[in-house]
Amino acid sequence: MSMQAEMPLLVVEHLTMRFGGLVAIDDLSFAAHRGEITALIGPNGAGKTTVFNCITGFYKPTVGRIALAHDATTTQTDLDRLTNSGDRWRKADGRGLYLLERMPDYEITAKAKVARTFQNIRLFTGMTVLENLIVAQHNALMRASGWTVLGLVGARRFKEAERAAVERATFWLDLIGLTLRADDPAGDLPYGDQRRLEIARAMCTGPRLLCLDEPAAGLNPKESLELNTLLRAIRDDHDTAILLIEHDMSVVMEISDHVVVLEHGAKISDGTPSHIKNDPAVIAAYLGVDEDEEEAAEAEIEGLQSGLDHGGAR
Amino acid sequence: MQSSAASASASRKLDIGPAPADSPGVGAAAMDAAKSALLVIGLATPIVLIETKQSGAGVALEWRFGLVAVLAAIAALARFIHLTVVGPRVRAMPASNMAGRFSPGTVTWIKRFALVFVLLYPFIALALAGKGGAIKWIDNFGIQLLIYVMLGWGLNIVVGLAGLLDLGYVAFYAVGAYSSALLAKTVGLSFWLCLPLAGIFAALWGILLGFPVLRLRGDYLAIVTLAFGEIIRLVLINWVDFTGGYAGISGIPRPTFFGLPFTAGDDGFAAFFGVSFTPLHRLIFLFYLILALALLTNYVTIKLRRLPIGRAWEALREDEIACRSLGIDTVMTKLTAFAMGAMFGGFAGAFFAARQGFISPESFIFMESAVILAIVVLGGMGSQLGVAIAAVVMIGGTELLRELDWLKDIFGPGFDPTKYRMLLFGLAMVVMMVWKPRGLISTREPSIALHERKAISGALVKEGHG
């Protein structure tokens, strides 16, 4: 790491998570870079969502360091100094450096600027689409409302901040094509729209890292394509890197710049999509092979990886 | 759709025996009614049939076959009417009709009319009932009702908006009442200083309660808040030196009209304005005071709902985990909800102490918490208008029972209609559960809109998990 001139956005080192006797993640290290879409893939039960929950503070990891550096000029020395100081985060000259494993979940979003979505959508179903996006901007609005005092007396500062918040919400509504449904309850939206709204809501927190837990689950091929476009737009236009868990290989191979493969809580491969696609360990563990190539592949895999089971064609 | 499905399933649950759910014939209904009668006889036999009466040194048993027969007949008749007349009609009503019977415009007019009526209420009471009769109408119906409306609105912040089930709300009412009474009596502060201080003390206790219960949800939260209410009451009973124990605190100074006491003396309100003294002056003043306090509660709640803190409360009710993923400090959000709700409870308590001139732990029993919670739930959690209507119906209804003296001519002089208060309360709840399981006004008004404000169906709004 110290060899590298530039520190990646997210550096996960020796992450281990045990639930009693069960080792969900076993000494996992990987990095997610600025301006990239990093995919975290693996068979069911590989520990992907647990990694997410550790990064976003919903779980406290048993062992490991999860560092997030907003600025590329942050060095390993900065990171070591922060780690030894016992502080949770340090922000000097606009260069924020955060140790996520030490921070409570809401601070990770509020300060370290990491936003997430959930495998089973968690929208505020009884609130309108617009309200969902306004709630996501809570911290900025709270400051503008002078922790409610200024807001109660109807201060101009708050009104302007609220207008800006609505503008930001409208921008995202336009992007996901839900402007006309802004005043409908979020629970009334079709499934695909709810998925996109959850991503837009996470983006309204102004994240540097967006963690998406199976964003394409349950989407039809057309919606899947739209999702790819949306995720690329987020990566290219918003200074937001994406870390995503996905089972839909058409999404993963199409849009990711970098793929990390997990099995049984440990990393089995790490690289570009084409590298992953040709890695025998991954093929064996996860991707499977086409039916007509099955026999040849099996023979090849048996030769290479005698210990691993065949994952089955997907 | 949801509400009609719920009510249909509820009415199906009430069926005893294999009678079909959809409009049975008269014969089937009669059979069903007979079964209901049998059920009542079975239930009433151990409870109602035998009465023990003191006779001389011993106890004599009296058999009440007649009463059991009457109860069974009432049950059979009610069941029969329900199956043949009421049930089919309720089922025939379209669901959408039940949800949105009033258009938003009508609701606005109802609110305006209610406000004007309440503002003129003391004078309407005076005009209709005369000086002697108006006391009861302004005091028992006006002031008493408004206290409950205010308490309902205060608890609505905690239960309706933030979705935190609080069964010990009366504790804050008690803290407000006792702190203002003690400050007035021992330190000698005027009512106008005691009022804000009582609110602050209650809010502090709200935060104090909030801290330990932050990690709890749902049933567990309800039980701890219930215990908190009891702790406060028991402390008030047992800390005799400070609170007077069961005897309570009496002789609490009455509120003055900005320094002018409501007395017959030369420096009193009547003498200052050159009108003849009557106790009605004080009552009318108290009426407008509690009206102003209740409207303040309402105004602040409406304002807060449109501020980030209010939206965070509602988001917390919808999904706490999603809130945390959006960077909302749920600890602070819960604490502010507890503090806000408690503060308005404290204001109401201070007013209560000043109005009564005497307070004791008797006024702050669990039953009060239950009644206030029932008002919020029956009104429709989160709906200001619904809570106000529920308070008027529940408290006004039970007050009206005192007016039913003519029933004594029918049931004999020993009949006291107020004894049936809780029975009617329970009946009202069961009817509401069947008819409108989400409360009188179950729709939610969005706090902000891009194009047009549309009411959100109660089926989508979550109740919160504590």
List C-alpha distances in Å: B11 to B3, B15, B20, B22, B193: 12, 7, 11, 10, 53
* A29 domain-assigned: yes
The CA–CA distances, whole Å, from B403 to B1, B180, B333, B392, B424 equal: 40, 33, 45, 16, 15
Q: Does A179 touch chain B (CB under 8 A)?
A: yes
Name the minimum distance, in Å, from the CA of B447 to any CA of chain A.
Answer: 7
What domain range is A174 assigned to? 120-205
Domain shared by A4 and A107, yes or no: yes
- For residues A25 and A57, membership in a common domain is answered with yes
Is residue B166 in some structural domain? yes
Q: Nearest-5° angle of CA B284, CA B289, CA B291? A: 95
- Among the candidates B98, B126, B152, a domain finishes at B98
B443: nearest CA partner in chain A: A126
Query: Tens of pLDDT along chain B (466 residues)?
Result: 344 444 444 444 444 444 444 556 788 888 888 999 999 989 888 888 888 887 777 888 888 888 888 889 998 998 888 888 777 776 666 554 444 556 667 778 888 888 888 888 888 888 887 777 788 888 888 899 999 999 999 999 999 899 888 899 999 999 999 999 999 988 888 888 889 999 999 999 999 888 888 778 778 888 989 999 999 999 999 998 888 888 888 888 888 777 777 777 777 777 777 777 777 888 888 999 999 999 999 999 999 998 999 999 999 999 999 999 999 998 889 999 999 999 999 999 999 999 988 999 998 999 899 999 989 988 887 888 889 988 998 888 888 887 777 777 777 777 777 777 788 888 888 888 788 878 888 788 888 888 887 878 777 888 776 5
The verdict on residue B364 lying in a domain is yes
Chain A's closest residue to B322, CA to CA, is A122
Chain A contact set for B456 (CB, 8 A) = 126-128, 185
Domain match, A212 and A99 both: yes
B215 close contact with A: CB closer than 8 A? no
**CB-count exposure of residue B253 (10 Å: 0-12, 13-18, 19+):** middle
Residues A250-295: pLDDT tens digits? 788 888 999 998 888 888 888 898 888 888 888 877 655 555 555 6
Is residue A313, in this structure, part of any structural domain at all? no
The C-alpha atoms of residue B170 and residue B234 are separated, in whole angstroms, by: 13
Does the distance separating the beta carbons of A151 and B325 come in below 8 Å? no
Same domain, A220 and A174: no
Q: Which phi and psi angles does A68 have, rounded to 5°?
A: -125, 120
Cα dihedral A272, A274, A279, A284 in deg (nearest 10)? 110
Q: Are residues A157 and A217 in the same domain?
A: no
Note which residues in 291-350 of chain B have CB less than 8 A from chain A.
300, 303-304, 307-309, 311-312, 314-315, 318-319, 321-330, 336
Q: Tell me the CA distances in angstroms from B152 to B236, B258, B298, B374, B376, one per residue in order.
A: 23, 28, 10, 9, 6
Contacts of B337 in chain A (CB under 8 A): none
Instruction: Tell me chain A's radius of gyration from C-alpha atoms.
Output: 21
Evaluate the CA torsion angle B362, B363, B366, B371 in order and state its sign.
positive
Q: Residue with structure tokens 């837009």?
A: A200
SS3 B290: helix
Inform me whether the C-beta atom of residue B140 falls under 8 Å from chain A C-beta atoms: no
Shortest Cα distance, chain A CAs vs residue B26, angstroms: 42
C-alpha dihedral sign at A107, A112, A117, A123: positive
Which B residues, 220 through 239, put their C-beta within 8 Å of a C-beta on chain A? none
Tally Cβ neighbours within 10 Å of residue B27.
8
SS3 A41: strand
Structural domains counted in chain B: 2
C-alpha to C-alpha distance for A136 and A115, rounded to whole angstroms: 10
Q: Return the biggest CA–CA distance within chain B.
A: 80
Across the interface, of B300, B322, B450, the residue whose CB is closest to A182 is B450
**B82 and B44 co-located in one domain:** yes
On the CB side of B275, CA atoms within 13 Å amount to 10
Residues B248 and B392 grouped into a single domain: yes
Torsion of CA B411, B416, B421, B423, to 10 degrees: -40
Q: Does residue B220 sit in the same domain as residue B324?
A: yes
Q: Chain A neighbours among B 437-466 (CB < 8 Å)?
A: 444, 446-454, 456-457, 460-462
Distance from CA of A115 to the nearest CA of B (A): 7
Q: Is A226 found in the same domain as A107?
A: yes
Q: Please state the domain count of chain A.
A: 2
CB B245 within 8 A of CB B376: no
Contact B307 A118 (CB under 8 A): no
**Cross-chain residue pair A135–B311, CB shorter than 8 Å:** yes
Which position has the token pair 């014939």? B25
Looking at the complex, report in whole angstroms how far the Cα of residue A146 sits from the nearest Cα belonging to chain B. 10
- Structural domain containing residue B90: 2-98
Do residues B135 and B91 both lie within one domain?
Answer: no
Residue A292, min C-alpha distance to chain B (Å):
45
Query: How many degrees, rounded to 5, is the angle at CA B341 between CA B337 and CA B342?
Result: 115
Q: Is the ipTM of this complex over 0.90?
A: no
**Integer Cα distance of A105 and B320 in angstroms:** 12
Do A211 and A201 reside in the same domain of the chain?
no
Per the domain annotation, does A11 fall within a domain?
Answer: yes
Partners of A269 in the beta sheet? A261
A284: helix, strand or coil: helix
Cβ B232 vs Cβ B369: under 8 Å: no
Residue A305 within a domain: no
